[in-house]
Homo-oligomer: A and B are copies of this chain.
């Protein structure tokens, strides 16, 4: 019924219990991290929590409410047990992972409910209005902005888990569209589309643990968004159940009928209603996946290459360019097992690179992914590699690209170990136009460093460019530092986050390119869209959800 099954999912952290980051076969990573952070990494700051350790108050919903919900959604459709409540009360941000390890859930949901159809959602919202309950739409629970966490003063909190509304309702092979229920997780949705020869092409890092509704509600971008587009480009129409009626936009490829109600619902973060289904554009499953690596002497040269390929119409499916710090980190991340001859070959390759003046310790690594028909991939590859060579890029062949592709969902698991060892680790992202990209890159990095290094601590700030457009790109930061003393952990993180957010606003970025707003980014929304726009969004909220039952406390300052 739900992706959240006890014994299967790591409710206090990332992903599935049977998956973990494989440190053992990467012999360079620990020395690298120790050196970078100036810490031994052998302590046990935290241990994984068990459910029983969580101090959880009794659910505040009356028996009448629970009976109503059971009657409505079936006996399997409601849960108040410890596992479901705990796993639905927070997302997967650093702050969340920290609080789970501190056995601390300040604001738990009181019940989880799994509707099967729109009608049931309408009834749940009616009940919530009547009983002054908050309803928090829940897809895969992978929010890193606090999007699924209870907030505000309500008589109770219901997590509305969309897991049972996970079907592809219709595949239209003529129009290349599919009508998909919002609760479908990445793998569920792709499996159903693949059976018809199609793909959505939306593959965020959270792919296994996030849903179509969540992607739409947060304006997500997949790692192949440069080719397939961001989620807001992929949606033709949607339905959203609000406490005051259903928003239902026309199923057309484009329209001039006034302001875009569709794009008002996209990004609405469950704060105005529950997205229940959407008409999505789909694409034929690509016959060829061609992933390669390139190395540039510095970040700026690589940035120019990405800019030029986008502006010349040589648009790759996926392009990621790591800065110096992330390139060195990627090298340390590489698996060091395998046959001796292979490792010897790699060492020889590194010597060759060095002789040409390229190095993973002082360079910018690019992953280039091309997907499609062989002809198109060949045409693009020829043009892009030529362009990169002209701008000083060294073509490393397919091996590093394939390696990135294979392990692209693995690194997210490393956080689990790091946090337990006492490392603060988080990511944040923004976007800007090309003319401002290197400037913003430096300012945000500087702001993070200043915040983290205060008091003489060491830290590591790595960045990559991804999600490219002809006019600009996203910048994605990962930052690490020795965790502050007990009780200071959140404040340490908040300080860094605030410094970066201030720099983003000051130097021409957006507060989020694809993580969304939740409550983490809400304080910056006023500067993002202006006072009058905030008031307008509040007014929309008031119309659709006058009793403020939908995901209160999120999105707006």
Binding site for B on A (CB under 8 A): 172, 174-177, 218-221, 230, 232, 236, 242, 244-261, 263-269, 281, 307, 311, 313, 372, 376, 379, 430-436, 467, 469-474, 508-517, 521, 524-525, 528-533, 535-540, 542-544, 555-556
Task: Collect the chain B residues with CB atoms within 8 Å of residue A508's CB.
Answer: 250-252
Assuming A247-B533, A255-B512, A260-B266, what are 17 further A-B pairs, CB within 8 angstroms?
A174-B307, A175-B471, A219-B255, A219-B258, A249-B530, A252-B433, A252-B508, A252-B513, A253-B431, A257-B267, A258-B267, A258-B517, A258-B528, A258-B537, A259-B264, A264-B264, A536-B543
Chain B residues whose CB sits within 8 angstroms of the CB of A245 once the complex forms: 530-532
A536 touches which one: B256, B264, B529, B532 (CB < 8 A)?
Answer: B264
Contact of A254 among B248, B266, B467 (CB under 8 A): B467
| A257: chain B residues within 8 A (beta carbon) | 219, 267, 510-512, 516-517, 521, 524-525, 528-529
Q: CB-nearest residue of chain B relative to A509?
A: B252
Which residue of B251, B379, B532 is within 8 Å of A247 (Cβ)? B532
27 contacts across the A-B interface (CB closer than 8 A)? A175-B433, A177-B433, A236-B471, A242-B532, A244-B532, A252-B431, A252-B472, A252-B509, A253-B472, A254-B467, A255-B512, A256-B510, A256-B512, A256-B513, A257-B267, A257-B511, A257-B512, A257-B521, A257-B528, A258-B537, A313-B376, A532-B543, A532-B544, A536-B540, A536-B543, A536-B544, A540-B540
Which residues of chain B are near A263, meaning CB under 8 Å?
259-260, 263-264
Q: How far is the CA of A521 from the CA of B258 in the complex (A)?
A: 10
B515 near A256 with CB under 8 A, answer yes
Alpha-carbon distance A528/B244, docked complex (angstroms): 18
Contacts of A430 in B (CB 8 A): 252
Asked whether A510 lies within 8 Å of B474 as measured between CB atoms, the reply is: no
Are B255 and A431 touching (Cβ within 8 A)? yes
Expressed in whole angstroms, the minimum distance between the Cβ of A196 and any Cβ of chain B is 14
Tell me the complex Cα distance, A467–B254, Å.
Answer: 9
How far is the CB of A153 from the nearest CB of chain B, in Å?
23
Contact B268 A258 (CB under 8 A): yes
Question: Given A249-B529, A531-B245, do A259 and B268 touch, yes or no (CB 8 Å)?
Answer: yes
The 5 nearest A-B residue pairs measured at CB = A219-B256, A245-B532, A253-B472, A263-B263, A539-B539
Inside 8 A of A435's CB, which chain B residues have their CB? 172, 174-175
Q: Are B434 and A510 in contact (CB under 8 A)?
A: no
Q: How far is the CB of A545 from chain B (nearest CB, A)?
A: 10
Bound-state Cα–Cα, A473 to B540, Å: 31
Name which residue of chain B comes closest to A376, CB basis. Answer: B313
Q: In whole Å, how far is A143's beta carbon from the nearest beta carbon of chain B?
A: 12
A264–B261 CA distance with the chains assembled, in angstroms: 7
**B543-A535 in contact (CB<8A):** yes
Contact B260 A260 (CB under 8 A): yes
Supposing A264-B536, A530-B245, A532-B244 touch, asked if A256 and B514 sit within 8 A by C-beta, the answer is yes
Q: Which of B175, B256, B467, B528 touches A250 (beta carbons < 8 Å)? A: B528
**CB neighbours of A250 from chain B (8 A):** 508-510, 528-529
- Closest B residue by C-beta to A538: B543
Q: How far is the CA of A364 from the CA of B436 in the complex (A)?
A: 48
Q: Is the CB of B252 within 8 A of A259?
A: no
Cα(A206)–Cα(B474), bound, Å:
36
Q: Contact: B510 with A255, CB < 8 Å?
A: yes
Q: Which residues of B contact A252 (CB under 8 A)?
A: 430-433, 472, 508-510, 513
Residue of B with least CB distance to A511 = B257
User: Do A434 and B174 have beta carbons less than 8 Å apart?
Assistant: yes
Chain B min CB distance to A317 (Å): 12
B530 and A246: CB pair below 8 A?
yes
Docked Cα-Cα span, A256 to B267, in Å, equals: 7
B379, B470, B532: the one within 8 Å of A176 (CB) = B470
